[in-house]
């Protein structure tokens, strides 16, 4: 079911070879080797740059209708092959098969949305002061783009960037996640079969730092898009800034969750447990810092614990599994450090707290209470199955606390009181705010952060802004 994965350049796969560097692809559930991944050398990157530049000249000249057809065909193929893409994603990423399948099926809709929306990349006519002059605003594709996508939602993160770049008329060199490459490889193959001309989408893997530095520095690249940690995002944005290149950054978050006294606690806990332990908490918009009104804290904690203890952890291929392993060993160490630090700062451990005693990257669903604001867990994104719960007594003060970190990706509020809801919507500083449900990440809605969580939206009618230049044309039409 799982095969070696190659680079994809100019419509051709370049598979791992014994004489060339490659990376072992490991199943995070068993630590067994699944296959090998080819690593790009500088010559491969030069080749990708050259063909992406040549392909751009042709692709940008295609009509919106032609680009739309390719995107729509990709949507159709993804849906028909969703099961096999999802099964391989569970093997290399670890998430439960049902979650992987939902990711592929739901994210196919990004291709459909972009297929529809790319036909509406309008310019405009501006009435001129001089009646002999015609003033136009036109949108042009920025050129050859490079993108770097992470391992937590391998299909989702890549398809957003691929569809936006291609739908706008740009070509792309994508570096997918070395730890969970199969879904991104499937995407490249599907677009090829959907009729995308050679060279428009090129896929590379290898040493992330070497690849990103080389591509960003190349004069061929006009735009850089990255999803990942704030630390790496800042580095790439600085490199791109030195060459004045367009950038969009979808970085980490540490989403505050404010639960007011009027909330339906059972309903809220059901929703939060499902959202928190989905993908083992490795989600940038995961509910992350829980603030609960002191009058309902006891009820909240007992309900939350009850539901958390029922989360079935196991191999993603087991249909009973609700939470799989973490994608990599790094995450286990990070989580353990954050939890140990919280306990040293005086937090109470209510359940979980450590790695599970079995092979694979398994971590216990964890709940901590009364975690001091000084603890690292309250300041750094855990990106794992850990819930810190604290109390509050005043809504204005807790909104200030929620806004106190440099993150600004997502925020959640729960209340049955309309005025409290309005205060939450107005007060929370985040690129995405969801009140009384978990409602973010649709193809038709913008996805992106503010503050250090990045800039530039993916999805929604904003999706193409990152990939288009605005050009003003002033034409004297008669003497």
Neighbours of 476 (CB within 10 A): 10
Find the part of the chain contacting ligand NAD (CB under 6 A) among 26-34, 147-155, 314-322, 434-442: 147-155
- Could you say whether residue 381 binds ligand NAD (CB under 6 A)? yes
- Could you say whether residue 459 binds ligand NAD (CB under 6 A)? no
Query: What's the CA angle centered on 231, arms 282 and 356, to 5 degrees?
Result: 30
- Could you say whether residue 447 binds ligand NAD (CB under 6 A)? no
The smaller minimum CB distance to ligand NAD, of residues 73 and 250, is found at: 250
Q: How far is the CB of 212 from ligand NAD (least distance, A)?
A: 3
Which strands form 468-476's sheet, in the order they lie side by side?
Answer: 124-126, 133-141, 468-476
Q: How far is the CB of 285 from ligand NAD (least distance, A)?
A: 8
Pairing of strands 22-26, 133-141: unpaired
The smaller minimum CB distance to ligand NAD, of residues 196 and 332, is found at: 332
The closest alpha carbon to 250, from 333, 311, 188, 161, belongs to 161
Neighbours of 330 (CB within 10 A): 12
- Could you say whether residue 228 binds ligand NAD (CB under 6 A)? yes
Total number of residues binding ligand NAD (CB under 6 A)?
A: 21
The smaller minimum CB distance to ligand NAD, of residues 162 and 236, is found at: 236
Q: How far out from the chain centre does Cα 373 lie?
A: 27
Residues 6+ apart with CB under 8 A from 114: 71, 163, 164, 166, 167, 443, 463
Axis crossing angle, helix 64-80 with helix 154-168, rounded to the nearest 10 = 160
Neighbours of 81 (CB within 10 A): 16
Q: How far is the CB of 458 from ligand NAD (least distance, A)?
A: 11
Q: How far is the CB of 449 from ligand NAD (least distance, A)?
A: 9
- The rounded distance, in Å, linking the Cα atoms of 274 and 185 is 29
* Active-site residue, from 39, 170, 284, 327: 284
- Could you say whether residue 156 binds ligand NAD (CB under 6 A)? no
Query: What's the CA angle centered on 317, arms 359 and 192, to 5 degrees?
Result: 115
- Could you say whether residue 457 binds ligand NAD (CB under 6 A)? no
Q: Which of 284, 323, 367, 386: binder of ligand NAD (CB under 6 A)?
A: 284
Binding mask 285-324 for ligand NAD (x = CB under 6 A): ----------------------------------------
Find the part of the chain contacting ligand NAD (CB under 6 A) among 102-110, 135-143, 224-232, 295-303: 224-232
Q: Which of 11, 123, 197, 208: binder of ligand NAD (CB under 6 A)?
A: 208
Q: Which of 29, 68, 152, 342: binder of ligand NAD (CB under 6 A)?
A: 152
Find the part of the chain contacting ligand NAD (CB under 6 A) among 30-38, 40-48, 221-229, 336-344: 221-229
Q: Which of 53, 135, 229, 403: binder of ligand NAD (CB under 6 A)?
A: 229
* Active-site residue, from 103, 250, 380, 452: 250
Q: How far is the CB of 252 from ligand NAD (least distance, A)?
A: 4
Q: Which of 113, 291, 383, 407: binder of ligand NAD (CB under 6 A)?
A: 383
For residue 432, what is the enclosing H or E element?
strand 432-435
250 is catalytic: yes
- Could you say whether residue 250 binds ligand NAD (CB under 6 A)? yes
284 is catalytic: yes
39, 44, 46, 52: CA torsion to nearest 10 = -100
Q: Which of 96, 252, 314, 353: binder of ligand NAD (CB under 6 A)?
A: 252
Tell me if 438 sits within 8 A of 92, measured CB to CB: no
Q: Which of 68, 90, 202, 227: binder of ligand NAD (CB under 6 A)?
A: 227
- The rounded distance, in Å, linking the Cα atoms of 462 and 168 is 12
- The rounded distance, in Å, linking the Cα atoms of 390 and 392 is 7
Q: Which of 8, 59, 113, 148: binder of ligand NAD (CB under 6 A)?
A: 148
Grouping H, G, I as helix, E, B as strand and the rest as coil, residue 340 is helix
- The rounded distance, in Å, linking the Cα atoms of 238 and 247 is 10
Axis crossing angle, helix 230-242 with helix 208-217, rounded to the nearest 10 = 30
- Could you say whether residue 177 binds ligand NAD (CB under 6 A)? yes
The dihedral built from the CA positions of residue 104, 108, 114 and 117, taken in this order, carries a sign that is: negative
Query: What's the CA angle centered on 205, arms 316 and 68, to 5 degrees?
Result: 85
List active site positions: 250, 284
Residues that bind ligand NAD (CB under 6 A): 148, 150-152, 177-178, 208-209, 212, 227-229, 232, 236, 250-252, 284, 330, 381, 383
């Amino acid at each position: 079911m799982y095969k070696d994965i190659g680079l994809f350049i100019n419509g051709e796969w370049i598979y791992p070879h014994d004489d060339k560097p490659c990376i072992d692809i490991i199943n995070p559930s068993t630590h067994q080797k699944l296959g090998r991944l080819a690593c790009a050398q500088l010559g491969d990157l030069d080749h990708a740059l050259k063909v992406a530049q040549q392909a751009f000249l042709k692709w940008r000249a295609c009509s919106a209708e032609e680009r739309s057809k390719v995107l729509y065909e990709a949507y159709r193929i993804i849906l028909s092959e969703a099961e096999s893409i999802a099964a391989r994603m569970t093997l290399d990423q670890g998430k439960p098969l049902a979650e992987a399948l939902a990711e592929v099926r739901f994210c196919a809709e990004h291709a459909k949305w972009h297929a529809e929306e790319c036909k509406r990349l309008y310019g405009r006519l501006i009435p001129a002061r001089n009646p002999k002059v015609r003033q136009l605003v036109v949108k042009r594709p920025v050129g050859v783009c490079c993108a770097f996508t992470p391992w937590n939602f391998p299909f989702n993160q890549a398809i957003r960037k691929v569809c936006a770049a291609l739908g706008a008329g740009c070509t792309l060199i994508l570096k997918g996640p070395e730890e969970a490459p199969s879904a991104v490889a499937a995407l490249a193959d599907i677009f090829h079969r959907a009729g995308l001309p050679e060279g428009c989408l090129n896929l590379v893997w290898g040493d992330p730092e070497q690849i990103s530095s080389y591509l960003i520095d190349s004069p061929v690249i006009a735009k850089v898009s990255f999803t990942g940690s704030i630390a790496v995002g800042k580095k790439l944005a600085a490199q791109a800034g030195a060459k004045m290149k367009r950038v969009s950054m979808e970085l980490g978050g540490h989403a505050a969750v404010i639960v007011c006294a009027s909330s339906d606690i059972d309903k809220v806990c059901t929703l939060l447990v499902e959202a928190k332990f989905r993908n083992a908490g490795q989600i940038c918009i995961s509910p992350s810092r829980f603030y609960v009104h002191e009058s309902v804290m006891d009820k909240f904690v007992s309900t939350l614990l009850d539901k958390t203890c029922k989360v079935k952890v196991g191999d993603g291929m087991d249909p009973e599994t609700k939470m799989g392993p973490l994608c990599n060993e790094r995450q286990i160490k990070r989580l353990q450090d954050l939890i140990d630090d919280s306990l040293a700062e005086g937090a109470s451990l209510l359940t979980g707290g450590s790695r599970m005693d079995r092979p694979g990257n398994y971590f216990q669903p964890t709940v901590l209470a009364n975690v001091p604001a000084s603890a690292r867990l309250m300041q750094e994104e855990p990106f794992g199955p850990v819930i810190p719960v604290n109390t509050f007594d005043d809504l204005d003060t807790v909104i200030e606390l929620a806004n106190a970190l440099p993150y600004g990706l997502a925020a959640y509020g729960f209340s049955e009181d309309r005025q409290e809801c309005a205060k939450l919507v107005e007060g929370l500083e985040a690129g995405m705010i969801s009140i009384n449900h978990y409602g973010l990440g649709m193809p038709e809605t913008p996805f992106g952060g503010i503050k250090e969580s990045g800039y530039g939206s993916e999805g929604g009618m904003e999706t193409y802004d990152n990939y288009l230049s605005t050009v003003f044309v002033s034409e004297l039409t008669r003497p």
